[in-house]
Amino acid sequence: MYVESPRYTERFGSVRINDIQKVIALDSGLKTEIPPHGAMGVVKICEDTIKKFEEKLAVVVPVKNEKLKLFEGVISGIPHDCLIIVVSNSHREPVDRFRMERDALNQMCRYTYRQAYIVHQKDSFVAEAIKKAGYDELLDEDGLVRDGKAEGMVIGLLMAKLAEKEYIGFVDADNYSPGSILEYVRIYAAAFSMGKSPYVMVRILWHYKPKFSGGTYFKKWGRVSETTNRCFNSLISSRTGFETNIIKTGNAGEHAMSLKLAELLPYASGYAVEPQELVSIFEQFGGSLPSGPDDVVRHGLDLFQIETRNPHLHEEKGTEHLNGMLLDGLSTIYHSPLCDRETKQLIISQLTAQKTLKSKKELPAPHINRPPSQVDIREFARHMDSRLETYSALHEE
Ligand code: GDD
Ligand code: MG
């Protein structure tokens, strides 16, 4: 794969925020030598390097009632050497959609000789293990894991830890294009290989997100991402005193990181999760507030934002869904101790202009699930170990 080299990096405390790097070509061939004039500003990531990182990577697929054909396509696009972890919150009645997902995963794994785990978000044994770890905020009043994409991601993270993976990546299950899933994961591996620090995160920017209405329009920026990025940039500008537009992936659902970093971050409920990750990185390592672990400060943290070649084709879930996502995301910035008065005003004015909010009283603080490093992961592992096999996609009942 050929990717633009990180040509521009802004520093915010210990965080190295790399500006967008485009994928130049999806494949870079077997020849290891490239002529010097061909290499200017471009990084070649060899196939061996990509495979080396894929082996250490768990890819978590959160899914809730998506079309089975889309789910099948998504899992077929995940590179063979990655461990797939599906966390499903799909209905079990009147039709057992979870069962259908498990069967599809089982079939693919059986015929392609690979390993995968699949867990239901409302599995009572998993909830018990989470309780044992002292991760109570992840549970609802019935003692089961709360609804929400973020909560599914946290289960995936704990499973990845159990499987002793070093990296974790996320891909949504409602993607129409298996080829773009393959690209996302190759980008994750490419970014890990470019990182200088063991604390690394990569966030995907889609080349285009086409809209179909009569014809096709290759739209680049959505309303939610445009607004979220603007508010993030306002927050950074207020702290550094230099206006910036460095953040272009504030909402990125497709993203990946080293487990070392993943364990240090809190996870905000539902769709607030991705903006909250960035907010927390800036809070802990941006240098304005008391710093997180010394080791991160020593190594620094590499944040990559990489633009795909493939367009992003996924299920459209409507305006109300998008408004909720915008509100959840901006609330993470608004309620951060880093957030200055101007950025707060910007958030309220954006939300009221877009008719998502009537008054600022309606901007509740997000529900935050503590960083996994603050719970007893070993206790979770001890409890899960005895039944781990039953979550394998190859397990027959
Ligand atoms: N396990 C689980 N539990 N999965 C869920 C849940 C849940 O409660 N709710 C949704 N999902 C799954 C969906 O099935 C899908 O695979 C994925 O999470 C993303 O949900 P969507 O509802 O499709 O979100 P979106 O497409 O509007 O937004 C996506 O892109 C945004 C911008 O990049 C999400 O990834 C957002 O988190 C992201 O900010
Ligand atoms: Mg979607």
Question: pLDDT tens for residues 63-102?
Answer: 999 999 999 999 999 999 999 999 999 999 999 999 999 9
Is there a contact between 152 and 273 (Cβ–Cβ < 8 Å)?
no
CA angle 139, 134, 122 (to 5 degrees): 30
Ligand nearest to the CA of 330: 1
Closest residue by Cα to atom 38, ligand 1, is 253
The CATH superfamily holding the domain 2-391 is Spore Coat Polysaccharide Biosynthesis Protein SpsA; Chain A (3.90.550.10)
Q: What is the pLDDT of residues 16-60, one digit of tens each?
A: 999 999 999 999 988 766 665 656 789 999 999 999 999 999 999
Average per-residue pLDDT in the chain?
94
Encoded tokens for 347: 């958030």
The yes-or-no verdict on residue 349 having pLDDT over 80 is yes
The yes-or-no verdict on residue 259 having pLDDT over 70 is yes
CA of 366 to the centre of ligand 1 (A): 17
Closest residue by Cα to atom 34, ligand 1, is 253
pTM of the model: 0.96
Atom of ligand 1 nearest to the CA of 88: 1
Measured between alpha carbons, how far is 103 from 109 in angstroms, rounded to an integer? 10
Task: Place 318 in a pLDDT band, splitting at 50, 70 and 90.
Answer: confident
Closest residue by Cα to atom 13, ligand 1, is 63
For the chain, strand residue ranges (E) read: 2-4, 9-12, 15-18, 21-25, 42-44, 57-63, 83-88, 116-120, 167-170, 200-205, 209-213, 215-219, 255-258, 267-268, 301-307, 368-369
Q: What are phi and psi of 217, to 5 degrees?
A: -120, 125
Helix, strand, coil distribution of the chain in percent, nearest 5: 45, 20, 35
Atom of ligand 1 nearest to the CA of 87: 1
CA of 149 to the centre of ligand 1 (A): 6
Of the candidates 333, 308, 330, 324, the residue with the CA atom closest to the CA atom of residue 254: 308
CA of 329 to the centre of ligand 1 (A): 13
CA of 270 to the centre of ligand 1 (A): 8
Of the listed ranges 32-41, 185-194, 211-220, the one predicted with least confidence: 32-41
